[in-house]
Amino acid sequence: MPPIVEVRNISKQYRLGAARAAKENFREFLLRKVKAPLHMLGGSSPNGGPEYFWALREINFDVKEGEVLGIIGRNGAGKSTLLKILSRITDPTEGYVHLRGRVASLLEVGTGFHSELTGRENIFLNGAILGMSRSEIISKFDEIVAFSEVDKFLDTPVKHYSSGMYVRLAFAVAANLNPEILVVDEVLAVGDIAFQKKCLGKMSEVSRSGRTVLFVSHNMATVENLCQHGIVLEQGKLVFSGTSKEAVRHYLGGVLQTMGRDGTNQVDLSNAPGRRRDGRHLLTRVEICTDGDRPVTGGLEIGGRLKLKVHFNLENPTDSFNIGIGFNSMMGTRYFTAHSFFEPDRSHGERVGPQVFVCDIPSLTLMAGDYTLKIWLDVNSAKADEIEDALRLTILESDYYGTGKAPWNGAVVMKHNWYLEEPSAQSADAEGKTETISTPR
């Protein structure tokens, strides 16, 4: 039996600076066409050259019926482009996809919701947009309403909904789609924890029901739980295909620019693979130090002092620049964000050229484990450079509480005290209070 999804040699090429090209006006367009008469008819011909880049390059894979496939890769690896091709939003430049079943795609919850329409009206509209027929929506209506828990507000325009209600309703419609192939993009990261659990439950129900699902996520735990198979994309190429566990392991292994990999505390960022595509290569290097500027090469103990010295360049003189550092778990959850914007005492005046901005965290109270750090630079309130998974930080177990016992369980540690109240002290306390009341001075 042939695979239900067959992806063969799929490539997708974009013109660089597509955003600029979009703003090109008609006169410029004519000029360009007149200047390049040979390209006049072949506007879509993929003729390489410096102004094009491949978002996807020769992707091949099969998905068998009933299989749940996880697609992982860092930002800009081509996951979204792949999903857009699979859901027919954009054409591939080369190759083909053979789909043997009805496809529904969910690249975003609430696509096509209209804020002026009521919840009830939006269920119908959104259902139709996702490919349900009117009769299908009517038959699923009660189920959708029950799942969304917004029954009391069905006839209220959704613009008056809280964001939680909005998302719940949107997911409820999507969750009741009934296609043979479902293409999903990280829509699970919505709503409160309880609702997320419900969504995950629904997703695994869907995957157990024999539906074929293609699932893109940053959350490795979800991928491992929901998917049997996984593929890893890196810079537009498929670099790994196997079971979801293996794929996750491959991804985590590949992501890491392990700090001190070469025995130093320096991480070179000039060619970091996790750089945002439009990043201006301004972040150059990070030095990892601890107390007394001692270099950190192996790992940092829980509660230790972390000094990250971020080296970067400023192209033009400015006094408006900020560095942000996000501490993420390996599964992609953000635990903490350090941002120079929170520093109250910033009086450096205008700067230009190479700079070193030091982020000094007196005590980093993250639990032992591995973390991936995202670093970004804002200049004049605009994102100038951004690197996902710029470096890895290992936090080592330590006697944080000074009791000879290593902390365990949880995401962070905090200094805390425990004491029992003595029964006598309690009553004395109570008596003391009565006393103050009875003898006012």
Partner 1 sequence: MATSVELVIKPRRGWQAIDFKEAYRYRDLFAFLVWRDVKVRYRQTLLGGTWAVIQPLIAMLVFTVVFHRLAGVGSDGTPYPLFAFAGLAPWTFFSTAVSQSSNSLVGNQQLVSKIYFPRFFIPLSSICALLLDLAFSLGLLVVLMIYYRWHVSFTALLMLPVFILAAVLAAGGAGLILSALNVSFRDVKYAVPFLIQMGIFVTPVIYPVRYIPQKWRMLLGLNPMAGVVLGFRHSLLGSEAQFDVITMSLFMSVVLFTIGLFSFRRMERRFADVI
Q: Which token pair is 373?
A: 């750090």
Angle between helices 193-208 and 163-175 (to 10 degrees): 10
Which is nearer to partner 1, 40 or 425 (by Cβ)? 40
Q: Binding segment for partner 1 among 127-135, 242-250, 310-318, 380-388 (CB under 8 A)?
A: 127-135
- Residue 82 makes contact with partner 1 by CB under 8 A: no
Residues contacting 42, CB < 8 A, separation 6+: none
Which is nearer to partner 1, 66 or 273 (by Cβ)? 66
- Residue 85 makes contact with partner 1 by CB under 8 A: yes
Round the CA-based radius of gyration of the chain to a whole number and report it. Answer: 27
CB of 157 to partner 1, least distance (A): 8
CA–CA separation, 298 and 279 (whole Å): 29
- Residue 189 makes contact with partner 1 by CB under 8 A: no
Q: Which residue of 31, 40, 52, 96 would you call a contact of partner 1, by CB under 8 A?
A: 96
- Residue 124 makes contact with partner 1 by CB under 8 A: yes
- Residue 433 makes contact with partner 1 by CB under 8 A: no
Q: Which among 389, 323, 307, 391 is positioned nearest to 355, based on CA atoms?
A: 323
Query: Total residues contacting partner 1 (rule CB under 8 A)?
Result: 52
- Residue 224 makes contact with partner 1 by CB under 8 A: no
CB of 265 to partner 1, least distance (A): 43
Q: Which token pair is 327?
A: 């501490």
- The H or E element containing residue 2 is none
Distances (CA, A) of 267 to 143, 330, 388, 394, 412: 52, 18, 14, 14, 25
Q: Which residue of 112, 242, 254, 369 would you call a contact of partner 1, by CB under 8 A?
A: 112
- Residue 239 makes contact with partner 1 by CB under 8 A: no
- Residue 91 makes contact with partner 1 by CB under 8 A: yes
Residue 32: DSSP 8-state:
H
- Near partner 1 in 35-54, by CB under 8 A: 44
Residues contacting 143, CB < 8 A, separation 6+: 176
Distances (CA, A) of 347 to 33, 231, 337, 377: 51, 48, 22, 18
Q: Binding segment for partner 1 among 20-28, 276-284, 411-419, 428-436 (CB under 8 A)?
A: 20-28
CA–CA separation, 240 and 223 (whole Å): 15
CB of 345 to partner 1, least distance (A): 43
Residues near partner 1 (CB under 8 A) are 4, 14, 18, 21-26, 29, 44, 65, 84-103, 105, 107-108, 111-112, 114, 116-117, 121, 124-125, 128-134, 180, 210
